[in-house]
């Protein structure tokens, strides 16, 4: 086997054999296949796709590249959730402690930002002292004592995916159904959770821009999970507009705490509860009431314990960017569109995301939304506040927002989209 022959097979729209897939994943993990060669193969897959057999074998090879975790010693059933990535998608933060408060164990392995979408670990690292990297023993201990943990996948868990995940972010190969499905499911299956709920985003701010592609991705992942004995369901959820009223790191943590305290934007609350109910049902706890756990403060108690268990201070002040710039409404009327991709790209340009895998992110960078589609606005009214430590980036971010905000006449018809579009499973 050699990397060039594997690349040529997929470049020429051929089907990779099981032996080619096993070899290239193993060789890349060991460093025998160079980053530029895997970049070329990833682009060939991006352009030419993979069939179901190739995706299944690619996923199995990535699982086999490392260890598999075992949570059978826990007294609670395990349930996990994964989002395919969106703008303002801070749902994991309130969801994990909420589901734990209802009796399930939530081993939430999360990642960094990909392109214009934010990363859960980047957000939580804005909390002073909080640690993303735990040993397997530490992770199991937090699950036993708290019930939920949000952390990075260890080096031993699907190491092939860890390398490929970072590579995709900087080579323009993120939006590939085979690579997305195999990346997500290799980690989740190797993680050892008993059940999994997938939040597959649909819209301009998601990697899946239309329902047909989202259904294909969701069905592929549900099939992969089911085939490996993990009870898996998927919700297709709206990402035409950012979730909530913030996109960034510390900004989203602050908003998540508001939700746990009984407030926060309604779309974030609605999606958090919808996913919590699916996770609890999949874990065999259909009678648990996540709305009650959110209202009575038990979810907040679990949040504080979870953050503390990972070295964070839940009472510490969160970072604030040094500079702000406000975007105002150009006219009076109804806000008819606030494009999620434009907002995500602008937040990324402000420093909330990274252009290279080794780049740092700014904890305080991001965007606050003062209005959402359907709201009446007045000319000169603040619509967005941009946050960054590097004000020279404002013009670059404003260029991303050009055309992303639309205001119609006050009587313009507006039909709000539901946050949950479909269920697959």
Write the pLDDT tens digit of every residue in 217-251: 999 999 999 988 899 999 999 999 999 999 999 99
Query: How many whole angstroms separate alpha carbon 414 and alpha carbon 417?
Result: 10
Domain CATH number, residue 363: 3.90.1170.30
pLDDT at 118 over 90: no
Considering the domain architecture, whether residues 305 and 220 belong to the same structural domain is answered as yes
Considering the domain architecture, whether residues 84 and 188 belong to the same structural domain is answered as yes
Residue 112 lies in a domain: yes
Of the candidates 10, 57, 82, 123, the residue annotated as catalytic is 82
Write the pLDDT tens digit of every residue in 369-390: 999 999 999 999 999 999 999 9
- The total of other beta-carbon atoms located within 10 Å of residue 11's CB is 16
Considering the domain architecture, whether residues 123 and 101 belong to the same structural domain is answered as yes
pLDDT at 253 over 70: yes
pLDDT at 421 over 90: yes
Considering the domain architecture, whether residues 97 and 191 belong to the same structural domain is answered as yes
In the residue annotation, 161 being an active-site residue is answered as: yes
Q: Which domain holds residue 11?
A: 3-49
In the residue annotation, 133 being an active-site residue is answered as: no
Report which of residues 168 and 17 the model is more confident about.
17
Residue 272 lies in a domain: yes
Considering the domain architecture, whether residues 292 and 200 belong to the same structural domain is answered as yes
With a CB cutoff of 8 Å and minimum separation 6, the contacts of 26 are 61, 65, 160
The band of 357, judged by pLDDT with boundaries at 50, 70 and 90, is low
Number of domains in the chain: 3
Residue 216 lies in a domain: yes
Domain CATH number, residue 25: 1.20.970.10
Considering the domain architecture, whether residues 137 and 210 belong to the same structural domain is answered as yes
Backbone angles phi and psi of 178, in degrees to 5: -60, -40
Considering the domain architecture, whether residues 335 and 294 belong to the same structural domain is answered as no
Lowest mean pLDDT among 166-180, 284-298, 334-348: 166-180
Of the candidates 187, 201, 231, 387, the residue annotated as catalytic is 187
Residue 187 lies in a domain: yes
Of the candidates 161, 199, 238, 339, the residue annotated as catalytic is 161
Domain CATH number, residue 89: 3.40.1030.10
Considering the domain architecture, whether residues 148 and 42 belong to the same structural domain is answered as no
pLDDT at 169 over 90: no
In the residue annotation, 296 being an active-site residue is answered as: no
Considering the domain architecture, whether residues 7 and 140 belong to the same structural domain is answered as no
Of the candidates 39, 148, 183, 204, the residue annotated as catalytic is 183
Residue 74 lies in a domain: no
Rg (the chain; Cα; Å):
21
CA distances from 410 to 333, 371, 397 (A): 4, 14, 28
Predicted pLDDT of residue 333: 97
Report which of residues 102 and 191 the model is more confident about.
102
Cα end-to-end span (Å), the chain: 38
Report which of residues 76 and 414 the model is more confident about.
76
In the residue annotation, 204 being an active-site residue is answered as: no
With a CB cutoff of 8 Å and minimum separation 6, the contacts of 200 are 84, 208, 214, 217, 218, 221, 234, 235, 236, 237, 424
Considering the domain architecture, whether residues 241 and 336 belong to the same structural domain is answered as no
Predicted pLDDT of residue 33: 97
The band of 210, judged by pLDDT with boundaries at 50, 70 and 90, is very high
Q: Are 354 and 395 in contact (CB under 8 A)?
A: no
Look up the pTM and report it: 0.90
Considering the domain architecture, whether residues 294 and 334 belong to the same structural domain is answered as no
Considering the domain architecture, whether residues 287 and 142 belong to the same structural domain is answered as yes
Residue 72 lies in a domain: no
In the residue annotation, 168 being an active-site residue is answered as: yes
Predicted pLDDT of residue 175: 80
What is the arithmetic mean of pLDDT over 195-206? Answer: 96
């Amino acid at each position: 086997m050699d990397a060039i022959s594997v690349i040529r097979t997929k470049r020429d729209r051929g089907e990779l054999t099981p032996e080619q897939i096993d070899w290239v994943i193993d060789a890349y993990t060991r460093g025998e296949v160079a980053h530029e060669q895997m970049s070329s193969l990833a682009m060939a897959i991006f352009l030419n796709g993979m069939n179901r057999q190739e995706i299944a074998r690619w996923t199995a090879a990535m699982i086999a590249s490392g260890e598999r975790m075992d949570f059978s010693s826990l007294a609670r059933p395990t349930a996990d959730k994964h989002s395919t990535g969106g703008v303002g998608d801070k749902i994991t933060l309130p969801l994990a402690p909420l589901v734990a408060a209802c009796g399930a164990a939530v081993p939430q392995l999360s990642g960094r930002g990909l392109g214009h979408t934010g990363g859960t670990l980047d957000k939580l690292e804005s909390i002073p002292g909080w640690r993303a990297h735990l040993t397997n023993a530490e992770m199991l201990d937090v699950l036993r004592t708290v019930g939920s943990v949000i952390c990075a996948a260890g080096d031993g868990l699907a190491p092939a995916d860890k390398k490929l995940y970072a590579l995709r972010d900087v080579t323009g190969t993120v939006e590939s159904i085979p690579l997305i499905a195999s990346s997500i499911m290799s980690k989740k299956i190797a993680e050892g959770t008993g059940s999994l709920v997938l939040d597959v985003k649909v819209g301009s701010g998601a990697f899946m821009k239309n329902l047909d592609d989202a259904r294909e991705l969701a069905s592929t992942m549900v099939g992969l999970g089911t085939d490996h004995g993990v009870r898996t369901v998927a919700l297709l959820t709206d990402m035409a507009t950012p979730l909530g009223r913030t996109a960034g790191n510390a900004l989203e943590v602050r908003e998540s705490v508001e939700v746990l305290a009984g407030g926060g934007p309604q779309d974030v609350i609605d999606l958090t509860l919808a996913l919590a109910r699916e996770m609890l049902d999949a874990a065999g706890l259909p009678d648990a009431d996540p709305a009650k756990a959110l209202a009575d403060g038990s979810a907040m108690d679990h949040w504080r314990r979870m953050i503390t268990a990972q070295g964070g201070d839940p009472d510490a002040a969160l970072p604030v960017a040094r500079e702000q710039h406000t975007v105002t409404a150009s006219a009076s009327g109804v806000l008819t569109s606030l494009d999620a991709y434009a907002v995500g790209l602008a937040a990324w340009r402000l420093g909330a995301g990274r252009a290279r895998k080794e780049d740092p992110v700014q904890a305080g960078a991001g965007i606050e939304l003062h209005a959402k589609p359907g709201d009446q606005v007045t000319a000169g009214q603040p619509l967005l506040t941009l946050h960054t430590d590097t004000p020279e980036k404002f013009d670059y971010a404003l260029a991303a927002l050009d055309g992303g905000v639309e205001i119609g006449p006050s009587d313009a018809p507006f039909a709000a989209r539901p946050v949950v579009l479909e269920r697959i499973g």
